Amino acid sequence: MSDRIHHRPMTPGAGFFADIVGGADPAQVREAGDLAATVLVRGARESQDPAMAERIVHLAETEGLETLAEVWSGAPADTLAGSLWRLFLLRSWVHADPDRVAAEYDAGHRRVDVARVVAGVADPPGPDELRSMVDDVLRGIGRGDFAVTLFRAAAFARIVAAGRASLEASHDDISRMLALSEQLEAAGHGEIADTLA
């Protein structure tokens, strides 16, 4: 047994909490992400500058995918920021591994005829054609109907998921691509597409 007399714990005082450095407030990060996404899309549409569409396509390269991820990756799929994150992630993946993407797309594009037409990829779908298609999808952010951009990307992801299934890829790989397709399609039918139309 201890001879120490028990006493009430000391309170740290207000200065204790002032010295704790915390991360960014998640609500503020989300608000900043939503605002940046809205400004990006609306600004690109209002500019009517063809160079703006090219800058959007290469945004992840010039600013870094990590920077976009920091602001947009936690956003729900049915928000503008969440949709943009998924579009840029899809583009980065296609450009990082175009041969694999072409093989998966080729394996799936005859199984999902409607999606093939919506995606708008040249036939035969080689690595160069797929890179060109995904860049063209991102150019759609600044021109035309945002819902069409989302539907094209969703159709592309659905074809790749079908290709992965026919190539007997892992269940997780198939499920992730199918989930991406469903998220983009739902966003195309949702409020964000309506507000930007």
How far is it, in rounded angstroms, from Cα 165 to Cα 4?
68
How far is it, in rounded angstroms, from Cα 85 to Cα 180?
11
Non-local CB neighbours of 108 within 8 Å, separated by 6+ positions: 159, 160, 161, 162, 163, 164, 165, 166
pLDDT, tens digit (0-9, with 9 covering 90-100), for 77-92: 888 899 998 998 899 9
Question: From the first residue on, what is the mean pLDDT of each consecutive set of 10 residues in the chain (197 residues)?
Answer: 59 55 71 82 74 77 76 86 90 92 89 73 79 85 80 92 93 94 92 65
Most distant pair of Cα atoms in the chain: their distance: 85
Identify whether the C-beta of residue 74 lies closer than 8 Å to the C-beta of residue 138: no
How far is it, in rounded angstroms, from Cα 61 to Cα 88?
10
Identify whether the C-beta of residue 101 lies closer than 8 Å to the C-beta of residue 164: no
pTM for this one?
A: 0.77
Question: pLDDT at position 130, please?
Answer: 87
Question: pLDDT at position 186, please?
Answer: 93
